[in-house]
Structure 1
Amino acid sequence: MTDAALPLPASRRRRWGFALLWLLFLAPFFFLTYGQVNTYTASLPSVPSFAFGWETHIPFLPWTIIPYWSIDLFYGLSLFICTSLREQCIHGLRLVAASLVACAGFLLFPLKFSFPRPQTDGTAGWMFDQLEMFDLPFNQAPSLHIILLWLLWLRFRAHTPQKWRWFLHLWSVLILISVLTTWQHHFIDVITGAAAGVVISYLLPIRTRWQWSPHRIRRGYQLAGRYAIISLVLTIAAVVIDGQGWWLLWPALTFLCITAGYLGAGASVFQKDSAGRISPSAAILLLPYRLAALISYYWYAKQCRHPSIVNEHITLGGYPAAPLTAAAVLDMTGEFPRSRYSTGLAYHCQPQLDLFPLTEEQIESAVNNLSRLVRSGQVYVHCKLGYTRSTTVVVAWLIRAGLADNVEQALAAVRQARPQIVLREQTIAALTRWAARYGKNNE
């Protein structure tokens, strides 16, 4: 996924004006959709409940209505803290999607809260009375409160100074707990709400952009087919096993996203930017794939961990697992975040899919970035294992730098330094096309 282009700064007055317009739309939209669905569910002859047995031990804590209500304040402020109109627009769309997704869940799977709430008095009692004026014990799963909490936490996390992050996290945890301790929701509502929130923010990214580049590469369709089969098998298993088996929908969705990557979305599915940061949504949603990639990394660790010095300018290797002696790093992985061993070094990330050949344009972009980094000193070029993605770039750079006359010479030089590299026929063909199109012309 490419980084979102830096938006032209909008004046604070303009941003706040749009924030007000968003609120004027979102407030009635929320109450209309949420209220109508609540009223409809209340009219049904029978509405079931779903609660785990251990939930009877969750205490009712009246004072937690305060953090529960506080989400309304965060909801309104979140639109005013955005620093660009693009961020504000996408955040607004996320809030709209939150209401629509939650209401769809309420209609498809109507549920009600099953515990009778004790009577309360004082300030907490008044707040509960106000809540009950428009909220009925329906609209349970997915919890809209939890969906919004995730979306709001993302925005405030992006704009809260580091020294105050602890307070943001603490208050967010209080809001999370409050949906249970105010006896507003059951645990299943929290889980489904969190899942819905992550999916919404993943589908509507702010820091990066989706890409779609159709291709005719057979290898890509083969890999897409494999991941699609894995996703289908996991989905069927979730349905057959039932109960705890529904957790299998998580990796099923993960591998569906990876399938989309190999069909045309490319590395944009990882939502990793040029600074090596992966969005929290992608980090969570794609965790099963990242764990599989990590297992693969450690499986081949003995073969790939040690860096290979190609020449005085370039060192080639796998994902850094130890301190680096290089002055700069070119990261070609999409599945892993920036290594802590690259902190403090000149750095650029161009995320690419594993086992998938780079296009001529991607090779050219990576070579240009590598040429820029070389000015800082020796560059450590890596992907997961240092076999294919990073090797492709180094081979091309040797031609660009005039250290090899053609792909065969460059490949031989790299193979001499790192014998375990793997470049398939399609990758060599892409390098040949790149050399014919760009070669040494863009010194």
Structure 2
Amino acid sequence: MTENTVAPIGQWRLNRAVAKRALIWLICLAPLFYATYGTANWLASQRENVPNITFAWEQAIPFIAWTIFPYWSINLFYGLSLFFNDTTAEVDRLAKRYLTAQIIAVTCFIAFPLTVIFHKPSTSGASGFLFDMLGGFDKPFNQAPSLHIALLVIIWTHWRVRLSGIVLWIWHLWCALIGISVLTTYQHHFIDIPTGLLLGLFALWLFPAHMPSPVAAFRLTDDPKARRIGTYYAMASLIFLLATIIGTPTSAAFLFFLWPALALLLVSIGYFGAGPAVFQKCTEGTLSLASTWLLAPCRLGAIVNSRIWTRQLPPSVAIGKNVHLGRLPRVSELSQFMTVIDLTAELAKPSGVEIAWRSFPTLDLVSPQHDELRKAADAIELARRKGPVLVCCALGFQRSAAVIAVWLLQYGHVKTAAEAIQVIEAGGRRVHLAEDMVSFAQEVKQP
């Protein structure tokens, strides 16, 4: 089962194979965690001056001793989550997420050690005992990205699809307390939280529940245009990374540039060979949680770009035969349609959409795969028989136009690619479509 279709916790039963796999992973992960985490702490302690990154307002954060309880509880959920799975594949996926977060975090701790500058007040009782246990191995280093927060993101996601009702809300509240506790126990500074969030989301993105890993089938593309666009994205990522490195010593706010740097890097990987899988868009138009947040800077840019280029154009135009061409619509623009055929990979369908939505994710500015164009054209033909269909992409200039052109050719409405383009532009939409993008469909005619 995927994270969207897991068994509710009330229906869960211990599976011997799952338990065995979970135990093996736990036996491997626990010693590795303490060994690598402790080594990073020791290496940082050998340096004469370990820097810190702190905002002035953090001085106002209170020390709250009892929050050590939610802080420590993540250790329990770390191990327990491995056993609450339906298949060994789910155990492996969760363990790989843990391992990814740990390896990247420890690498950062060694390469760029930071320290906490706040001094914990003395504590007593049960909370004092837990603080003493924590101090036995967790020195004031290993800060950004917060491994605690990264693991929290992974574990929160694991349980939120297995709980429901009031228990789910209690889980959300407890996770919020765990997140806040890294500050109120004086274990971390603020900047460690957003960097830890990015790391946790990256681990979720790298090992998604509903599809293969976006880099599993990576093959370096032989398309020169795709490589060129990928290079542009990689260069933009490098600019944001350099801005982070140069600016952070003067202001901690520059660390937020890591977000667009990472988002742009992942998109560049898509153009270099991973394809639209980097956006993790499902056939019904939704995006994974990790993609939604991790790639949000690029998605925001795509939305702004779409509105700028289409602001003086109608949202869609009729091409004929119940088929319309346009940009990705707003909810208010969908009342006249029964189906949407969506070619974007980078944008999700608008929330609240109730009509049939079929997604065929493709990268912008490069020629879509022929198989995807044919499948989308077939979907147009099936859908238009039931009522009006909107075929869309971010702008409605190329990807969606290419699919309509293939549909026109494949189902005998026109005979040549040039004629298909003329029919589309006669509908009132100037498109950016070369004949060679769709001419292959001239050879395949439906009876």
Same fold (TM over 0.5): yes
Q: Is 1:140–2:150 an aligned residue pair? A: no
Deviation at 1:328, TM superposition (A): 1.5
Amino acid at match of 1:345: I
Q: Unaligned stretches of 5+ in structure 1? A: none
Q: Give the direction of change, closer, same or farther, for the CA distance of 1:409–1:12 in structure 2 (3 Å limit).
A: farther
Q: 2:167, 2:287 → 1: CA distance?
A: 22
| Contact 2:409/2:441 (<8 A) preserved | no
Task: Describe the shift of the 1:161–1:185 C-alpha distance in structure 2 as closer, same or farther (beyond 3 A).
Answer: same
Match of 2:404 in 1: 394
Task: Evaluate the alpha carbon distance shift between residue 164 and residue 350 of structure 1 in structure 2; reply closer, same or farther with a 3 A threshold.
Answer: farther
Change (3 A) 1:190 1:315: same
Query: Distance between the aligned counterparts of 1:165 and 1:378, measured in 2?
Result: 40
- Per the TM alignment, residue 95 of structure 1 is displaced from its structure 2 partner at its CA by 0.5
Between the aligned partners of 1:415 and 1:300, the Cα distance in structure 2 is 17
More displaced stretch, 71-80 vs 39-48: 39-48
Q: Return closer, same or farther for 1:220/1:46 CA change in 2, 3 Å cut-off.
A: closer
Structure 2 match to 1:430 = 437
- Shift of the 220–109 alpha-carbon distance from structure 1 to 2, 3 Å rule, reads closer
What residue in structure 2 maps to residue 224 of structure 1? Answer: 230
Q: How does 1:24-39 map onto structure 2 within 5 Å? A: 24-39=27-42
Out of 94-103 and 32-41, give the one that drifted further.
32-41
Preserved contact between residue 50 and residue 115 of structure 2 (Cα < 8 Å): yes
SS of match in other structure, 2:204:
helix
Write the distance in 1 (CA, Å) between the matches of 2:134 and 2:255: 32
> 1: distance between equivalents of 2:235 and 2:134?
46
1:352 aligned to 2:378? no
2:268 is the counterpart of 1:259: yes
What is aligned with 2:242? Answer: 236
Alignment correspondent of 2:10: none
What does 1:15-94 align with in structure 2 at a 5 Å threshold? 15-94=18-97
> How many Å separate the matches in 2 of 1:201 and 1:384?
26
Q: Distance in 1 between matches of 2:140 and 2:221?
A: 50
Letter in 1 for 2:376: A
Query: SS in structure 1 opposite 2:161?
Result: helix
- Give the one of 268, 282, 289 matched to 2:277: 268
1:149-199 superposed Cα distances (whole Å, 9 cap, x missing partner)? 111122223333366543333222111100000111122322332232223
Contact 2:70 2:178 in 1 (8 A): yes
Query: Corresponding residue for 2:379?
Result: 369
- Superimposed CA distance per residue, residues 48-101 of structure 1 (whole angstroms, 9 cap, x where no aligned partner): 444332222110111111211121222123223334433321221111122222
Structure 2 unmatched ranges of 5 or more: 7-12
Corresponding position of 1:181: 184
Distance in 2 separating the partners of 1:268 and 1:83: 25
Alignment of 1:413-428 (within 5 A): 413-423=423-433, 425=434, 428=435
Equivalent residue of 1:315, what SS? strand
Q: What's the TM-score once normalised by structure 1's chain length?
A: 0.88
Does residue 440 (structure 1) correspond to residue 445 (structure 2)? The answer is yes
Structure 1 Cα separation of the partners of residues 44 and 224 of structure 2: 50
Q: Counterpart of 1:331 in 2: which secondary structure?
A: strand
For 1:440, give the aligned amino acid.
K
Alpha-carbon contact 2:317-2:429 (below 8 Å) kept: no
Q: Kindly tell me: are residues 338 and 215 of structure 1, through their superposed partners in 2, closer, same or farther at Cα, counting changes over 3 Å?
A: same
Q: Please state if 1:281 is matched with 2:290.
A: yes
Deviation at 1:363, TM superposition (A): 1.2
Structure with greater contact order relative to length (CA < 8 Å, sep ≥ 6): 1
Which segment drifts farther, 229-238 or 353-362? 229-238
Measured after TM superposition, the shift of residue 105 of structure 1 is 2.0
CA separation of 1:70 and 1:11: change in aligned 2, threshold 3 A: closer
**TM-score with structure 2 length normalisation?**
0.87
> Which deviates more, 28-37 or 387-396?
28-37
**Structure 2 residue identity aligned to 1:433:** F
CA contact (8 A) 1:363 1:434 kept: no
Displacement after TM superposition at 1:419 (Å):
2.6
Which residue of 2 is the match for residue 337 of structure 1? 348
Q: Which residue of 1 aligns with 2:327?
A: 318
Q: Aligned-pair RMSD on alpha carbons? A: 2.7
Q: May I ask how many residue pairs the two structures share in their alignment?
A: 431
- Matched with 1:167 is 170
